[in-house]
Amino acid sequence: MALAADGGDGVTGEVAVLGAGMHPWGKWGRSFVEYGTAAARAALDDAGIDWRDVGSIVGADTVRGGYPGYVAGATFAKALGWQGARVTSVYAACASGAQAVAAARAQILGGLADVVLVVGADAAPKGFFRPAGGDRPDDPDWLRFRVLGATNPTYFGLYARRRMAVHGDTQEDFARVKVKNSALGALNPYARYRKRVTAEEVAASAMVADPLRLLDICATSDGGAALVLSSVEFARRHGVARPVRIRAVSTVTPRYPTTVLDLPDIATDSAVAVEPSAETFRASIARAAYEEAGLGPDDLSLAEVYDLSTALELQWYEDLRLCGEGEGAKLLRDGVTALGGRIPVNTSGGLASFGEAVPAQAIAQVCELVRQLRGEAGDRQVADARVGLSANQGLFGHGSAVIVVR
């Protein structure tokens, strides 16, 4: 049984990452099960663990793949070969992968399993994400499409315009994010887009949702990612004396009232009766992770953030407290978030290079952190990486942040 109360450095609540695996991102036209199974096998090989020795499997669901998408854990278990493992399936939109990690960690720390396989994969539609068919007037996601016509790029454009109005960011600042991330994605064999992009190419790309152009916005992609997690004690019995460890997982929800518009909601809350929180929802996601880990932004070696658009990456800099409010663009201009800077962000290439494979993405972020902390990132390697943080936000108020340490 798992005895993972102590990570070995006096830190409770840690679990070890024995293996990380991915299926390359792209538009392959095949089942999400194929992508997830390939990623799972790669993670098991990386861990040196036989599938038959896994005590539990947690699947991050895809809701677009038909009925099997709603029982992703069991779908992957069947594809790997029924062997009696516990099974869990979770759905939290873009935060599904982090919630899968949280569920796996809880099972290990609770003594229900020594080794847990976490898998997420998706086969995304062409073009924009859209709501499922049918009329659902009580569904805020259906309403934002049908009442406002607000596709995801519309939302990204509104957020970018807000940054321009409040902080003075420019389209040139947004383009710099794409330039940085494409250079890193060009070095990542799992990335869909492996081509460096210039600021001039961003400026020449088609306008999609003013002020964002085509190269400012992430694509929709197919892909898969997986992790093999275990108790720290099991890792040491398995011959891994100092494993990479997950120290914190934040899956918080917003606080009432929310005063910054966040789709699919189409209005902010009234702040007449209750004083708004001093921090935004995204800022609270990072704070909860820092507090659980007993760390702060100054301890980070690198971060992976959800750059659905170039402007949103700049927002994450501030939400993670890498800089003060309104200082994200300056941080980028000064090279602080580039490879070789004080705190490299999206060394994987980010969504700019991958595109969204929704239930896999938060797991893929952790895969990048694990490779960096192991010193296995090749030309993308961050020198002496010791602490990494991943962050994203799932639709409908799902927080997602993971802190990984070496």
In a domain, 396, yes or no: no
In a domain, 233, yes or no: yes
In a domain, 64, yes or no: yes
Query: Cβ neighbours of residue 300 under 8 Å, at least 6 residues apart?
Result: 320, 322, 343, 387, 388, 389
Angstrom CA distances, 191 to 36, 132, 196, 388, stand at 16, 28, 12, 20
Task: List the pLDDT tens digit at each of the 406 positions of the chain.
Answer: 333 344 445 467 899 999 999 999 999 999 999 999 999 999 999 999 999 999 999 999 987 665 556 678 999 999 999 999 999 999 999 999 999 999 999 999 999 999 999 999 999 888 888 777 788 888 888 888 888 888 999 989 999 999 999 999 999 999 999 999 999 999 999 999 999 999 999 999 999 999 999 999 999 999 999 999 999 999 999 999 999 999 999 999 999 998 888 888 888 899 999 999 999 999 999 999 999 999 999 999 999 999 999 999 999 999 999 999 999 999 999 999 999 999 999 999 999 999 999 999 999 999 999 999 999 999 999 999 999 999 999 988 899 999 999 9
In a domain, 113, yes or no: yes
CATH number, residue 115:
3.40.47.10
The first and second tokens of residue 300, run together, are 């980070």
The first and second tokens of residue 188, run together, are 């990542």
Which pLDDT value is given to residue 62?
85
Q: DSSP H helical segments within 48-194, as ranges?
A: 72-80, 96-109, 140-146, 152-167, 171-185
In a domain, 312, yes or no: no
In a domain, 264, yes or no: no
Structural domain of 42: 15-127+221-237
SS3 328: helix
The first and second tokens of residue 336, run together, are 């602080």
Task: Determine the Cα–Cα distance for residues 159 and 243; give it in Å rounded to an integer.
Answer: 39
Which pLDDT value is given to residue 133?
76
Using alpha carbons, select from 379, 399, 377, 378 the residue that is nearest to residue 388. Answer: 377
Which pLDDT value is given to residue 300?
98
Which pLDDT value is given to residue 10?
44
Task: Determine the Cα–Cα distance for residues 364 and 387; give it in Å rounded to an integer.
Answer: 16
Q: Exposed, middle or buried, 126 (CB in 10 Å: 0-12/13-18/19+)?
A: exposed
Which pLDDT value is given to residue 130?
79
Task: Determine the Cα–Cα distance for residues 339 and 342; give it in Å rounded to an integer.
Answer: 8
Which pLDDT value is given to residue 44?
98
Which pLDDT value is given to residue 267?
86
The first and second tokens of residue 254, run together, are 């917003």
What φ, ψ does residue 166 adopt, rounded to 5°? -85, -40
In a domain, 206, yes or no: no
Task: Determine the Cα–Cα distance for residues 273 and 256; give it in Å rounded to an integer.
Answer: 10
Which pLDDT value is given to residue 333?
98
In a domain, 30, yes or no: yes
Which pLDDT value is given to residue 3?
32
Using alpha carbons, select from 104, 163, 144 the residue that is nearest to residue 310. Answer: 163
Q: How many domains does the chain have?
A: 1
Which pLDDT value is given to residue 70?
66
